[in-house]
A and B are shown apart, each in its own frame.
Chain A
Amino acid sequence: MLVLDAARVRAKSLRQVISEPGYAGRVVAVIQRLVAAQAPAEVLDLLYEATETMGAEYAVFVTYIRGNFSHENFRFVLACDPRWCFEYKARASYSDDPWIMYASSNTEPICASQIQGLSRSQREAQALAVTYGMASTFVVPAPSSGALSRIGMLAIGSRQAGFFEGDGGAEFKVLGRSLAMELHGWWVRRLRAEMISELDITPEDLQLLMFERSGLGTKQVASELGATVGAIDSRWQRLNRKLGTASRAASARLAAEYGLI
C-alpha cells in the first residue's frame, strides 16, 4: 500500500471546477502520463496529481480478482488520509467494502451516496471514509473484457459534502472512467510482469499457452514448434507445475484470466 496525504479544502462546486478553461485537457494530460509510469510510487504521485487537477482531494484505486476476496489478490494505491488506511486495514473493511462490492457487479460510475442496500458494516465502512475526509465520493468501476478476471475500482473523494451529487457529474464521469481504466490497465500490465517473473514463465511457455487457448492439439503444436509430442507433454508438465494447475486446459484458462495471454 502506498499513501500520500492531501488535505486542502476547496470551496468551488463541481460545475465551477469543470467549467474552468482547459480543465479536461489538463486532466487528460496527467492521465496520459500513467502509461509511461514505471513503479507504483510513480503511479501514486500521478493519482494524487490527477485527483487535484480534477478538483477533488482524495482518491483510492484498488485492483483485485473478481469473486476472490483473498488478501493476496488485492493491490491498493491510496492518495488519502493515512489514518483512514490504517483503520481500514485494522477492520479488514475491504472484505465487506460497499464500493468494491458495487464495482464487482456494475460498470456505471456512481456517487457513493446512491449505492443502495448496504448492510450495517458497509454503512460503517462508508462512515469511516467520511470521518477521514471523503464526505462526498464518486465510485468508478474499472471492468475487464474477455476472460480477464482482474477488475478495479477508483473512488475519488472530496471534503465538500454533496460535491459530486451536484451538477457536473456527467462530464466528471467521462474523465473518471478514463483515469480508472488507465490505472486498471497499468496494474494489469504490472501484475502480468510480476507473475511472469515470479513463476519464471518463458516466452516459449506463453507461446504454448496461446496455442492451447487457440484450440490446437498436441500434434499440431509439436509440428509448429518442430518438437516431438513427448517433448510438448513434458513442457506442459513443467508449466502446469509452475502455474499450480492440473492440466494444460486449466493452465490456458488461468493464463487468460490473469492476463498472461
Chain B
Amino acid sequence: MKQPGRCYPLGYLLVLAPPTLLVLGLLAGIPYLLFAALFGVAPLARAILGNMPEEPGEWNEFVTMLLDRLPMLAAAVHAAALAGVLVLLRQGHSLENWGAWVGFGLSLFASQLCGIPVAHELIHRRGIQRTMGRILSGITGYPVLEGEHIRHHSVSGIVEQPEWPRLRESVWGYVGRRLPYAFRSAWKYHRMLRHSSSGFRGLATSCGAMVITAVMFGMAAGGAGVLVYLCIAAAVQFSVHAINYIQHWGLGLDSVPNADEGRYGWECRCVLQGWVMLNIALHYSHHQNSSTPYYRLTPHKASPRLPGGYIPLLFISLVPALFRRFMEPALSAWRRDPAQQNEPKGRRIICMPVVYGAPGANKQRRV
C-alpha cells in the first residue's frame, strides 16, 4: 500500500494558511480572499492532490517533533492574525462598502472555523498545550469546546442524548438539541473536575479569552464590532455541531447495533482537508484512540467514508433531503461491506457523487 512521501509533512503547514490569508486579504484589498479560497477553491483541490495514503508515514524524530509543535504555532498565528486584523481596522484600514464588509465577515468566519481543529488537537493534549487550546477555543467564540468534547468522547452511539445524531434527524434538529446540551455538558465536566486544572479554572481561561476578544472587537469597531464577533461566534458554534452531525450521522445505536462499542465516525481522505484541518476528518480513527496526535492518524480500514469533503457537505446538510440523498447510499454501502471503502476515487474535479456497487465491486486500487 502507498505510504506518504517525504514531502508530505510539509503540507501540514497549510494549517497556517487561513489566518494568513485573512490578514493578506485585508492588506491586499481582497477581504473575501480566505472565504473564496476555502469555500470555493479548496473543495476542487482533490483534482490536483487526490486522497491521502492509507498507510502511516514513518518520519524521523526531527520532523515529528516539528509536527507535534505545529498546533501550538498555529494557535499563536490565529491569535496574532486576529489581533493584527483588529489593529488594521482600528488604524483606519477600512473597508470600502457593504460588500467588502460582508466579504471580510465571511473570511473572518472561515478563519475562526479553521481555528477549531487546531483547538481540538490541543485540548486532547496536556499542560500548556491544553491551555493554548482553551484560549484558542475562546478566541474562536466557542469556549466550551474542551468540556463538551471530552464528554463526547466518553459516550458512543447514544442518540437519546444529543451526543450522536439520530438517523431521522436533520442538522437543524440536531444542532437545536445539541447546542444547549453542549453548554450544560461542559459545565458538568468542569464541575466534575473542579479540584483540578481542568475544572472551573479551565473554563474561566476559555471564557476569559472570548471576553477579551470581544473587547478587542469593541475597541476596533465599537458596538458594531462586538455584534459582528458575537454573530460569527454563533455561526462557528452552529458549524462545529453541524460538522459533528456530518461526522456521526447514521452511526448511532438507532442505526448500528454495536455503535456504543464501535465508536464509529465518518472519514474522508481528501489530502488538502487533512492538511488544513489536521486530519479531523479521520474521525473513526480519532474515536478509537483520542490521544493519538493528528500526524499519526491514518484512515481506518473499515471506516464509513464520506462521499465528499466537509465544506460541500456542510452546505448540503442545510437541505436535509439533499443530505440524505448523498449519505444514505454511503451508509447502506458501508453496512453491506465495511471494508469496501466507498469514497471519491482518484483526482476528480468534483468529489461527488460516489458510485456504490455490489459488495466487492469497488476493490480497484485507490490513489
Contacts and interface: CB of A to CB of B under 8 A. Distances in A.
A96 B192 contact: yes
Given A70-B153, A71-B156, A248 B61 contact: yes
A244 B155 contact: no
A77 to B, nearest CB: 16
The bracket for how many chain B residues form the interface is: 35 or more
B61 A90 contact: no
Given A92-B158, A247-B64, 9 more contacts: A68-B290, A72-B263, A94-B154, A95-B151, A96-B188, A233-B61, A237-B59, A237-B60, A246-B64
Contacts of A69: 150-151, 153-154
Interface of A: 67-72, 89-92, 94-96, 101, 105, 119, 121-122, 233, 236-238, 240-241, 244-248, 250
Contact of B158 (A90, A121, A238, A244): A90
B91 interface: no
Contacts, number: 84
Which residue among B151, B260, B291, B292 has the maximum number of chain A CB atoms within 10 Å of its CB? B291
Contacts of B255: none
Contacts of A245: 64, 293, 296
A71 B263 contact: yes
A101 B192 contact: yes
A94 B192 CA distance: 12
Contacts of B263: 71-72
Interface in B126-162: 150-151, 153-156, 158, 160-161
Contacts of B58: 237-238, 241
A247 B61 contact: yes
Interface of B: 56-61, 64-65, 67-68, 150-151, 153-156, 158, 160-161, 163, 188-189, 191-192, 195-196, 198, 260, 263, 287-293, 295-296
Given A69-B150, A71-B263, A244-B296, A95 B61 contact: no
Nearest to B158: A92
29 contacts: A67-B198, A69-B151, A70-B150, A70-B153, A70-B154, A70-B289, A71-B153, A90-B160, A92-B161, A92-B163, A95-B189, A101-B192, A105-B195, A105-B196, A121-B188, A236-B61, A237-B59, A237-B60, A237-B61, A238-B58, A240-B61, A241-B56, A241-B57, A241-B296, A244-B291, A245-B293, A246-B68, A247-B68, A248-B61
A2 B295 CA distance: 35
A43 B296 CA distance: 34
Nearest to A117: B194
B268 to A, nearest CB: 21
A90 B293 CA distance: 29
Contact of B192 (A71, A91, A119): A119
B289 A233 contact: no
Nearest to A248: B61
Contacts of A92: 154-155, 158, 161, 163
Nearest to A68: B291
A186 to B, nearest CB: 21
Contacts of B260: 89
A68 B260 CA distance: 18
Contacts of A95: 151, 154-155, 189
B196 to A, nearest CB: 8
Contacts of B56: 241
